[in-house]
Chains A and B, each alone.
Chain A
Amino acid sequence: MLKFKPMTILKAYILSALVGAFILFVSLSVIPVLADSVTPSVTVGNAAPSVSAVDISPATITLTENGTTTITITATITDSNGCSEVFTGGTIKAQLYRSGVSGAGSCSADPNNCYRNITMTDVGGTCAGGSDTSGNASGTVQIWYIAEATDASSSFSTETWQVEVIATDSSNASSSATDSTPPELSTLLALDVTASLSYGTVAANATSATVSASTTNTGNYNTLDAQFSGVALESGANSIAAAQQKYSTTTSEAYEQLDYTLSTTPTFRELNIAKATATTTPSKQGSFWAILIPAGQAAGTYNGTTTITAY
């Protein structure tokens, strides 16, 4: 009788299993398997960008006399194709204008009421690129002192200063939005006067020659008036009373014919200085001044201050 060791039987089983597996592998592997491929294609269409959260700051625009004031415009730009479609591949422009100006956002550039093509850019890298769809855009514009006021006292009290932000993407699709709470532009009553009046050397109990001063409307009020006041001219312990000075806002005349005596109390005078309409052409008006030196007035150089306050 034949006898087999258990290990021999185990080896035989393992060998049989391996042979069987090999045969199974070969029988399966002879079946050719063929694949086919399909090419999906999609054309991603352009979605026009959108503009939101348009804001103008400061909330009330206050001008700087005889100069410019920085206005900041901000907006959120969203593009479904990615914010870089606008921030990198497109443009963001703003038009700042008095809301009632002809053409509104399409107004013609004018420092009085229309500031065009204000460039806005991504501030602080808020558009991260890739699949980021939105970013914050910001731009500034320098508003001249002649910009037309829209506050309650102005001629355009029913209006505001509005901005239209236009975002254009790389496919030239665009959209725009305006500030939902546009600011007022405040009236600026401001003037600038010749810094000094030199009456020259005048003997006691004599009058000076009439000298002129220039008053320039450096704000945006259209019929600027003023209050005049002064203080005594002093030279050490000696002084000449403010009322020794006379002035006229219209005609250069001799001391005796000048219209007004300078008071220490602000005194309204109607000047009607028009608002300048071009920054290169100031709107100004002359005033005429002379002084009578009282008798017995000690010799000396007397200085004082005359204040003209726009009104």
Chain B
Amino acid sequence: MSGFVKTSFVVVFSMLLIWTIAGWPRVWLPKKDSSGVWRLQQTRVAKIVSADTGGPNTPSTVAGVASGSCSDNMAWNTTDQTALTSNDTTYISYSAGNWDSGNVTDELRISNFGFSLVGTVTSIDGFQVDFLGWTPSGAPAASYQTVSLFTAPGSNRGDNKAAGTFPTADPGSTYQTFGATNDDWYPAGSWTQAEVESSNFGVALCLTANENNATVNIDQVRITITYTVQANSAPSVSAVDILPSPITLTENGTSTVTITATITDTNGCTDVATNGTTTATLYRSSLGASCSADANNCYTNIPMADAGGTCTGGGDNSFNASGTVQVWYIAQATDASSSFSSDTWQATVKAIDAASASSTATDASPPELNTLLAIDVTGTINYGTVNPDATSTTQTVTITNTGNYNSTDATFSGVNLESGANSIAVGSQRYSTTTNEFWDYLDYVLSGIDTFRELNITKATATTSPSTQSHFWAIKVPLGTAVGTYNGTTTITAQ
């Protein structure tokens, strides 16, 4: 064996071994990832097929038309267009009393079977047509003259499967069947999915009388289609993106975060966009996509839909999905100053197609969620009516952590209380951040300059349970203060 042959043998053997292990056949193709970089990735190119059936379906339209050899001096009674949909006591009849031996009925064109084949149909493999009828006038009163499929009434295609005679009594539920699962009645060609799903698709029936004054009842007609569909391929998710970046919260409320992704399904984008689902989970990254729903760090089942009708159907395999979620102010920060500075906020987008196949992807450059230092304070402190040189009763003010910082402090400052040209010095107010006491014993004198106080108000962990702290305020009205209502502003800034 030459060296070239040996080398070739080794190469071929190795490839076969690799393909056996990794799956047959796979090739490496470049593909642009979510960040726009072209990368090599595996793409399965083999077509895997499976057989499926549609039906049996029954018709919604029936008409009798004299056509060619199917022509008689009588007419089918087609008044009831739904007579052929079920095995019951309503029939399509041919019974005027003038259908004599050797006469062939008008062509009964039975259509509008309402097929909607599932999946990507690769071939129509067979038709089975079932008739349920009899000739109440006598035996054997009628024979099949035409049993032929048509693409539209009057446009018969392929084989005429007519054979045999009609039953002479109500057959109950015993159908006379024509065709088979592997017989498409069209040796010269093939059917398309669109043709059989068309409302014009149907079967033509003509019968020959075997006696004079014969009659016939047709109770039900149904068609079963056997077809082959391309096996389902799982959708893929790419270009996952979270906006805005970084995520900035809204104090005491929610902020809209938008998640976008590109969904691709080789079975057609409608396999996911219309018949499947796309959802996302937004979470603090170290928790993973399997996290339990929690306003602090995990937002699940975020519905995503085709944004802007990018899935055009037909051969379109991809669409842009988008969804929004309202992230609460208590969501945990991941920025540099936070307790989770090594985390980000990540989104896992999951696309599920009509066959329940799915895949997921995450944002390649997930955003940080910023720390929000925010507080909300009771809107007013009403000290009531206080005489000069007297002190008010101590008022309670509630301060609420409306951000996501876990031990929020604050600075306090105020201005003089004014009533027209008169004023009460800001320093007449005192406050305590811990204890409800009389004015004389309150801890701090309010200053006109921002003064830091350590509050350590924890972050709320549930949106229904705000994290609050009570503060205590009182005022002493100086001697010589004129009568009036005095108002001021006290500013408390989260720190």
User: Taking beta carbons and an 8 Å cutoff, which residues of A are in contact with B?
Assistant: 27-28, 30-47, 80-85, 130-133, 170-171
Query: What B residues does A83 contact at CB under 8 A?
Result: 480
Query: What A residues does B388 contact at CB under 8 A?
Result: 44, 47, 80-81, 133
Q: How far is the CB of B398 from chain A (nearest CB, A)?
A: 10
Interface size on B, residues (CB 8 A): 57
Q: How far is the CB of B290 from chain A (nearest CB, A)?
A: 30
Chain A residue with Cβ nearest B381: A40
Establish whether residues B480 and A40, one from each chain, have CB atoms under 8 Å apart when the complex forms.
no
Chain A residue with Cβ nearest B487: A41
Report Cα–Cα, A36/B397, bound state, in Å: 13
Establish whether residues B371 and A44, one from each chain, have CB atoms under 8 Å apart when the complex forms.
no
B379: Cβ under 8 A from any A Cβ: yes
B335: Cβ under 8 A from any A Cβ: yes
Report Cα–Cα, A37/B378, bound state, in Å: 8
Chain A residue with Cβ nearest B481: A44
Report Cα–Cα, A42/B475, bound state, in Å: 8
- The digit string for B387-420, where 1 denotes a CB below 8 A from any CB of A, is 1111010000100001100000000001001010
Query: What B residues does A33 contact at CB under 8 A?
Result: 373-374, 493-495
Query: What B residues does A32 contact at CB under 8 A?
Result: 248, 370, 372-374
Establish whether residues A42 and B485, one from each chain, have CB atoms under 8 Å apart when the complex forms.
yes
Report Cα–Cα, A85/B387, bound state, in Å: 14
For chain B residues 459-495, which have a beta carbon within 8 Å of chain A?
A: 473, 475, 477-495
- Output the residue of A43, A80, A85 with the most chain B CB within 10 A: A43
A-B pairs with beta carbons under 8 Å apart, 26 shown: A31-B372, A32-B372, A32-B373, A34-B373, A36-B376, A38-B378, A38-B381, A38-B492, A40-B475, A41-B380, A42-B386, A42-B424, A42-B485, A42-B486, A44-B388, A44-B419, A44-B481, A45-B387, A45-B390, A46-B387, A47-B389, A80-B387, A80-B389, A81-B482, A130-B480, A170-B483
Establish whether residues B336 and A34, one from each chain, have CB atoms under 8 Å apart when the complex forms.
no
For chain B residues 334-363, which have a beta carbon within 8 Å of chain A?
A: 335-337
Q: Which of B371, B377, B473 is A37 in contact with, Cβ under 8 Å?
A: B377
Report Cα–Cα, A40/B384, bound state, in Å: 10
Query: What A residues does B251 contact at CB under 8 A?
Result: 34
Establish whether residues B397 and A38, one from each chain, have CB atoms under 8 Å apart when the complex forms.
yes
Establish whether residues A43 and B381, one from each chain, have CB atoms under 8 Å apart when the complex forms.
no
- Output the residue of A42, A80, A132 with the most chain B CB within 10 A: A42
Establish whether residues B480 and A133, one from each chain, have CB atoms under 8 Å apart when the complex forms.
yes
Q: Which of B383, B385, B387, B483 is A40 in contact with, Cβ under 8 Å?
A: B383
A40-B490, A133-B388 known; 4 new pairs, CB 8 Å cut-off, are A34-B402, A38-B377, A42-B392, A47-B388
Report Cα–Cα, A36/B374, bound state, in Å: 8
Query: What A residues does B456 contact at CB under 8 A?
Result: none
Q: A35-B493, A44-B388 are in contact. Are A80 and B377 (CB under 8 A)?
A: no
B298: Cβ under 8 A from any A Cβ: no
B375: Cβ under 8 A from any A Cβ: yes
Establish whether residues A43 and B481, one from each chain, have CB atoms under 8 Å apart when the complex forms.
no
Q: How far is the CB of B432 from chain A (nearest CB, A)?
A: 15
Report Cα–Cα, A220/B495, bound state, in Å: 84
- Output the residue of B336, B378, B483, B486 with the most chain A CB within 10 A: B483
